[in-house]
Amino acid sequence: DADVTQTPRNRITKTGKRIMLECSQTKGHDRMYWYRQDPGLGLRLIYYSFDVKDINKGEISDGYSVSRQAQAKFSLSLESAIPNQTALYFCATSDPRSRTSYNEQFFGPGTRLTVL
């Protein structure tokens, strides 16, 4: 089974709809991240969380909100989706306590979101 899972894997929605993307991990990592990826722009950080009580905005947080329900779960919401939020969304985790993989990011399989 995958260590980092995302649901849904694909979603098509309409402008103005509320959408939630979910991420779960079984790695036991404290740190979790949400990125979006657009052609030519690479991965851009939306929000990140270093533990359940620590949530921070990334470089492109406008139009998004997050919830860290537990150590293993980090969800991303689009309160009112708009077409320029069409992108590939990745969740990731990391474990800064690891000697061998300090700051390595482990990504989920991605959610392809299309907003019409």
Partner 1 sequence: RKEVEQDPGPFNVPEGATVAFNCTYSNSASQSFFWYRQDCRKEPKLLMSVYSSGNEDGRFTAQLNRASQYISLLIRDSKLSDSATYLCAVNVQRSPYSSASKIIFGSGTRLSIRP
Rounded least distance, CB 59 to partner 1, Å? 8
The binding track of 54-93 with respect to partner 1, each residue x by CB under 8 A or -, is --x-x-------------------------------x---
Tell the smallest beta-carbon distance from residue 105 to partner 1 (Å).
6
Task: Give the position of tokens 């649901």.
Answer: 7
Based on the shown chain and the rule CB under 8 A, indicate whether residue 103 belongs to the binding site for partner 1: yes
